[in-house]
Amino acid sequence: MEFHDKMENNKNSLRKRLTLPLREGLCLVCGGGNKMLKIGDFSKMGKTTVKTLRYYDAIGLLRPKQIDTENGYRWYSTDQLIALVQIQQWRQLGLSVETIGRILRKELSETDALKQRREQLGADLDSMQRQLRRIERVLTTGAKEGIMKINVIVKELPECIVMARKVNLPEYGDLLSEIPVTGAKVARQYPDLKCTQPEYCFVKELDGEYREKNIHAEICQAVETLKPDFDDVTFRKEPAVEAACALFKGGYEGFSEVYAALMQWIEDNHAEIIGEPRESYIDGIWNQDSEENWLTEVQFPIRCRD
C-alpha cells in the first residue's frame, strides 16, 4: 500500500505540473462569451509574429480587445482571429497596410482596392516584360554592340503641310492614346481632309530636357490641305530639311539606344542639330500585335558644317 500511495502521489504531482503550465500558458479567460488570449497565444494561433501584432496595434489596424492596466498585457478575443486572417489575405494579395486601413475604415471598398492592385500588377508586369526583352537583346548583341549596329543615314525630309496638336502627357505611354484622339478630333472637324501618301506621322518632344512625367510634346500628321486652325489643332508648312535618321524595331523603351547612336554619328561627322528630333511612327500598336514588330524612325534635323 505504501508503494501504491507513493505512485498515486507521484501521478497527482505530475498531473499538477502538467496542468498548471497549460493553464498559465494559454491563459483563456472567459468574458461575455468570448475567450481572451494573451498576445503570444494569439500570435501562435494567428501565425503572425508578436512584432507584427504590435505594429498593427500602433497603426490602428488591429487593436487588442483590452490591455491590462496593471501589467500592460495585451489581450485579444478569439473572434479577432477572423479579422487577422482577413488582413493576412489582403497582405498576400499585395495590399499595403495603408490601403487595408482605408478598407477597414470604410473609406475604400475591397473591390475598388483589388481593382487598383490589379492595374498596378499589370503595369508592373509590362515593365518587367520590357526589362526582360532588353536583357535578352543585350545578351544577344551586347549593349555597346547594339548601339554600334544601328545604321544612320542622311536624307532630305521634304516640305509638307502638317496638322499639329500640342499635348501634355502625364507619362510617355499616354502618347499612344493621344495620337488616335488627335486623328479623330480632326476627322470630325474636317471629314474631307486626307493624309499624304505615304503617311507621315511624327512627334516632337518640346521639353528642353528628358522627362519621365509631365511631358510636353507635339503630335504632327502630314496632310494634303492647309486648313484653318481650330481649338488646340494648328496647321502649318514644315520646310524641307536634311536629317540624320535611324530606324529602330521594338518597344519605345529602346529609343535611348537610337538617340545615342545618332548623337555619336552627329559628333563624328561634325554636324549641327537645327531642330527638335522627330519620332516617326511607321508600325505600332495600331497594326502590330507584338512590340517586337513596332518600327520607328528617329530623325534629327541637321546642318553639315563646312
Dump pLDDT digits (tens) for 33-43. Answer: 568 888 888 88
Residue 163's Cβ-count burial label (10 Å; 0-12, 13-18, 19+) is buried
62/8: higher pLDDT: 62
Q: What is the per-residue pLDDT for 274?
A: 93
Lowest mean pLDDT, pick from 6-10, 263-267, 285-289: 6-10
Which residue, of 92, 108, 124, is where some domain finishes? Answer: 108
Domain identity same for 152 and 299: yes
Task: Note the pLDDT of residue 9.
Answer: 52
Domain holding 127, by residue range, is 112-141
- Residue 240: the pLDDT is 94
Per-residue pLDDT for 301 more than 90?
yes
What is the per-residue pLDDT for 27?
42
User: Residue 160 belongs to a domain with what CATH number?
Assistant: 3.20.80.10
Residues 158 and 290 both lie in one domain: yes
23: pLDDT strictly greater than 70: no
Q: Are residues 135 and 149 in the same domain?
A: no
Residue type at position 281: Y
20 versus 257: the higher-pLDDT residue is: 257
Q: Which of 22-31, 53-62, 292-301 has the lowest mean pLDDT?
A: 22-31
HSE-CB at 102 with a 13 A cutoff on CA atoms is 12
Residue 114: predicted pLDDT: 95
Whether residue 292 is found in the same domain as residue 164 = yes
**Number of structural domains found in the chain:** 3
The Cα–Cα gap between 41 and 47 comes to: 10
pLDDT at 28: 45
Q: What is the CATH number of the domain that holds 36?
A: 1.10.1660.10
- 183 and 203 both lie in a single domain: yes
pLDDT attached to residue 138: 67
| Residue 211 shares a structural domain with residue 120 | no
The answer to whether residues 258 and 150 belong to one domain is: yes
46 & 61 share domain? yes
Query: Which single residue is written with the C-alpha cell 478598407?
Result: 103
Asked if 218 and 296 touch (Cβ cutoff 8 Å), the reply is no
284 and 306 Cβ atoms separated by less than 8 Å:
no
Give the pLDDT of residue 306.
59
Tell me: the pLDDT tens digits for 209-257?
777 788 899 999 999 999 999 999 999 999 999 999 999 887 776 677 8
Higher pLDDT, 173 or 108: 108
Same domain for 175 and 159: yes
Is pLDDT of 87 > 50?
yes
Is the pLDDT at 111 greater than 60? The verdict is yes
Query: Over the stretch 150-202, which tens digit does the pLDDT of each residue have?
Result: 889 999 999 999 999 999 998 877 887 898 899 999 999 999 999 999 899 99
Q: Which residue has the higher pLDDT, 90 or 46?
A: 90
- 126, 141, 156 - which closes a domain: 141
What average pLDDT score do residues 59-72 get? 84
Q: For the residues 43-57, what does the mean pLDDT come to?
A: 89
Amino acid type, 174 = D
Do 50 and 100 belong to one domain? yes
What value does the mean pLDDT of the chain take? 82
Domain boundary among 58, 86, 108: 108
Residues 170 and 69 in one domain: no
DSSP the chain: -HHHHHHHHHHHHHHHHHHHHHHHHH--EEETTEEEEEHHHHHHHHT--HHHHHHHHHTTSS--SEE-TTT--EEEETTHHHHHHHHHHHHHTT--HHHHHHHHTTSS-HHHHHHHHHHHHHHHHHHHHHHHHHHHHHHHH-HHHHHHT--EEEEEE--EEEEEEEEEEEEGGGHHHHHHHHHHHHHHH-TT--B-SS--EEEEE-SSS--SEEEEEEEEEEESS----BTTEEEEEEPPEEEEEEEEES-GGGHHHHHHHHHHHHHHTTEEE-S--EEEEEE-TTT-SSGGG-EEEEEEEEEE--
**What pLDDT does residue 17 have?**
39
Tell me: do 122 and 148 sit in the same domain: no
